[in-house]
Every structure is written in structure tokens, then in C-alpha cells.
Amino acid sequence: MSSQLAEETRERVLRAAGEVFAERGFRDGTVRDICGKAGVNVASVNYYFRNKEALYFEALSFAFAEAEERYPFDCPEGEGVTPAERLRHFIRNFLMRLLDDTHLGWHGKLITREILSPTAALVPIVDSIMRPRFDAVRRIVIQLVPHRLDDDSLERCVLSIFGQCLVYRHARSVIDQMRPQIVAGPEDREATAEHVFRFVLAALTHLPPTPGI
Amino acid sequence: MSSQLAEETRERVLRAAGEVFAERGFRDGTVRDICGKAGVNVASVNYYFRNKEALYFEALSFAFAEAEERYPFDCPEGEGVTPAERLRHFIRNFLMRLLDDTHLGWHGKLITREILSPTAALVPIVDSIMRPRFDAVRRIVIQLVPHRLDDDSLERCVLSIFGQCLVYRHARSVIDQMRPQIVAGPEDREATAEHVFRFVLAALTHLPPTPGI
DNA sequence: GATGCTATTAAACATTCGTTTGAAGCGCAA
DNA sequence: TTGCGCTTCAAACGAATGTTTAATAGCATC
């Protein structure tokens, strides 16, 4: 029977693993680093998880679950909310999460690494977490574009929206070197979110119809 | 005196290093892998370069130089070219490079890794290669937006453009799992480039003025 | 208090990897 | 040919790392 204390130890290792893997990657993040940060013996990894790889899988799932919990995907779908308001809400929510480096920053770093070097762990994450958001944004796009779009154009619109948010995380090192002021403070981030919203809204509402459809 | 043969060996190691580092990252890409692929002895790394880290630096610079050579940044600046045509040209050129997996794909992968986990090698690359492109796109944006933009909004517009292109590389694994058809064939990639161009053009030409400026 | 299961520990093991070493190969000039 | 400098090689070294082991401690139950 696993005690309450053991469960706490397990979660401490899981959290330390997430932070270490996020900062240094799977290979560079050593078991000794993780256990040192968690304050446990190195054998704990083998005791609680099978090995380092299984620990990585669980840490990734744990990070996603915790990120979902703290930054819930609350895209208002009610009747009284206009599509533009839903769009603004989504973009701000998503961007704030991506730009957050302080308390929850390692989740995003870890996920970014996983996307760049995908393992088998990515498949269920894409299906269970990313796809619903993709679908929600697609519904917003359909409502905002004044004419019908073919399926591929629709997907590309959604990707254009995600891309404008994701660049602030993926190219963060370049931004910090070239234009640090646009993401420096909270008010700058709000302004960035507002910009992305206006940029997307202008594009969607004025997108020309695809010829031949 | 270094012979012609030695120079070829050096470059073979450099190229193999770029491919291996791109595929597996700095830490996972072993010296033995690189030398095996290059068909040379492991001691060659220490002979031609100082050590693995110095090899990585040189491989990164080499990759950038070769990518610049094969995909030259030829943004037409002449009088007779409209800003919209320059934008289309830039986006297509940039996107095709990002989506190219075949002969030159490892350059982009390597650079993406470096941006995510930046080392000291990134600073000169940003200054010498990325900044000029950023500046060129900014000049195009100024010409396309019908009113004056403050500096920060201008930077964010440029980032919106880059982000819409970069997402096709950074989130490639997710796209491949969710919507592979939009980047599958050459004609799909052309359609993607055209979409990004139209999306950006619609946004820039209809972007509302920032209040209070 | 004895017993048995769980949790934790220090130490060691086996492997991998970057790096070094010393010798051998090779081209070329004297 | 001989000698010399540049290049390549096989082998080994030392450090780091994932994993295992066997012993110890903690703790609930009887």
C-alpha cells in the first residue's frame, strides 16, 4: 500500500523532472540533477517509475495536465458572445500562457521541446489537448470570414493564428536579442495580445475569396 | 601546409556534423556518429576542430552560410516592384526554405534547435542574418499599412508575418499528425505560401489605426 | 514488541561518450 | 632513397550517466 508520503515524493520527482527536462532537454537533464532538485535518492527514479524514459513520459503528461488546470481553456461559447470577442479571449489566454516564464514557464518549454523532437508521447497529447483547441478556433474563423472557405484554407487560417502566438515562444531568444521591449512587461504583453487580435481580425474579415470556389 | 584532401575531409566532417546535430541535437549527436557518417576517425574532430563544442559552432555557421548561398535572400527592391509583390516574394521564398526537408532540410532543423536552446553562437547569426531580413520586412510593412504605426506595433506586425511562416516548421510534427495534406506536395506548399501572403496583405491593408497615436 | 511490507539510501556496475595518445601512413622535397 | 611534416588510425583513458543491488530505516498491523 502506498502511503501519503510516498505519493508526495513521487510528485516531487515528477515536478523536478518537468523543470529539469524543460530547461535542459531529455538527454541533458540527468537523473542525478532531477533527484538532487527533488531531494531524493537517485534510485527513486527506478523505484517509482521504470526508468528515465518512463519518467519523461509521465512528466510530460503531468505538465500538460497541470497547465490545463491552471490555464483552463475557457473559450466562451455562449449565445451573447460575438465571434470577435471569442477570438480576442482565446488569443489573449493562449499568448499569456506562452509568454509566462515565472511560475509555470517550464510547462511551455517542455512542450515546445517535445514538439520539436517528438516522441511517442506527443500523439495522445495532440489528440486530446491540441485538437479541441484547433477545432474551437476553426469554428470562430468560419463565423468571422464573410464568405465560404475551402477546408484547406480554413486550416491555414487557423495555423496563421496559432503561428502568430507561438512565435513569441519559439523565437523568444531572437526576440529578446532584437526587440526585447515588446514582451518585457505585463502591459507590453497585453499590447502584444491586442495586436495579434487586431491583425487576425483585420485579415479574417477582409480575406479575399479563393478564386474558383 | 594543409592539402586539398585535408580541406575536403574537414568539410565532410562539418557537413556530417550539421546533419547529425540537426537530427539529434548537440548532446545526442555523438562524435562517433558524426565521424562514422563522414567516414573518418574520431580523432579527426580534435585534429581539425578543437573539440565537439567548437565543431558545433563551426557547423552552425557553415549551415547558415550554405543556406544563404542556396536560398539567397533576393527581395526585389527595385522601383517597378510593388510592396505587395515584394511581400509575396519574401513569404514564398522564406516558406519554401522552411518547408524543404529534402536536400537542405537539416539547415532549418539545426537553426530551429539553436533558437530553442540558444548558445553564444546565436548572437552573431541574429545580427548578421536575421536582422537584415527583419528590417526588409519592416520596410514592406510600412509601405502597405495605410496609416502610421508606432514602433512597437510595427515590430509586432513583422513578428506576425514571421510567425505565420515559422509555424510550419516549428509545429511541423503537430501539423503532420493533424492536417498533413496542407504541406504534403509542392502544390500544397505553393498554396500555403499564397494563403499566408493573402492573409498578411488583408491584415496590413485593413489594420485599424492604434487609438491615441 | 515482533513481523512484514514499503520506502530510502549508499555504493557499485556497466555503458557511453569526449578526448587523448602514440604510432603508422602518406606525399613531397632534397 | 631518406627525412620531414601533415594526416589518419586504433586503442585506451577518464569522466559522466542510467541502472541495479543489497542493506537499512520507517511504519502500520497483529
| Three-state SS letters, A82-145 | CHHHHHHHHHHHHHHHHHCCCCCHHHHHHHHHHHHCCCCCHHHHHHHHHHHHHHHHHHHHHHHC
Grid cell for residue A78: 455562449
pLDDT, averaged in runs of 10, over chain B (213 residues): 71 95 93 96 96 95 84 71 94 88 75 87 88 94 96 97 96 93 92 97 94 58
* Chain A, nearest residue to B119 by Cα: A173
Q: Which residue's C-alpha cell is 532538485? A: A37
Asked if B152's CB is within 8 angstroms of A181's CB, the reply is yes
Is residue A115 classed exposed, middle or buried when 0-12, 13-18 and 19+ CB atoms within 10 A define those classes?
buried
Q: Which residue's C-alpha cell is 506548399? A: B189
Give dist(CA A9, CA A5) in Å, integer: 6
Give dist(CA B142, CA B207) in Å, integer: 12
Asked if A203's CB is within 8 angstroms of B202's CB, the reply is yes
Give dist(CA B126, CA B80) in Å, integer: 30
Higher-confidence position of A81 and B74: A81
pLDDT of the residue at A212: 56
Protein CB footprint (7 Å) on chain D nucleotides: 5-12, 16-22, 27-28
Report the alpha-carbon angle B177-B186-B25, nearest 5.
55
Q: What is the pLDDT of residues A129-157, one digit of tens each?
A: 889 999 999 999 999 999 999 999 999 99
By the 8 A CB rule, do B111 and B97 touch?
A: no
By the 8 A CB rule, do B17 and B26 touch?
A: no
- Which residue is nearest nucleotide C9, judged by alpha carbon to C1' distance? A41
* Amino acid at the residue A210: T
Size of interface A-B (CB pairs under 8 A): 159
- Which residue is nearest nucleotide C21, judged by alpha carbon to C1' distance? B43
pLDDT of the residue at B40: 95
pLDDT of the residue at A8: 85
Q: Report if CB B159 to strand C is under 7 Å.
A: no
By the 8 A CB rule, do A49 and A12 touch?
A: no
Tell me the residue ranges of DSSP E strands in B3-100: none
Rg of chain A, C-alpha, whole Å: 20
Give dist(CA A110, CA B54) in Å, integer: 27
Residues of B (58-97) placing their beta carbon closer than 7 angstroms to any atom of strand C are: none
pLDDT of the residue at B165: 97
Which residues in chain A have their CB less than 8 angstroms from residue B152's CB? Answer: 181-182, 188, 191
Grid cell for residue B185: 506536395
By the 8 A CB rule, do B193 and B92 touch?
A: yes
CA to C1' distance (Å), from A149 to C28: 72
Average pLDDT, chain A: 90
Which residues in chain B have their CB less than 8 angstroms from residue A116's CB? Answer: 112-113, 116, 170, 173
**What whole-number percentage of chain A has pLDDT above 70?**
92
By the 8 A CB rule, do B139 and B83 touch?
A: no
pTM value?
A: 0.89
pLDDT of the residue at A74: 67
Asked if A207's CB is within 8 angstroms of B198's CB, the reply is yes
Q: Report if CB A4 to strand C is under 7 Å.
A: no
pLDDT category of residue A19 using cuts at 50, 70 and 90: very high
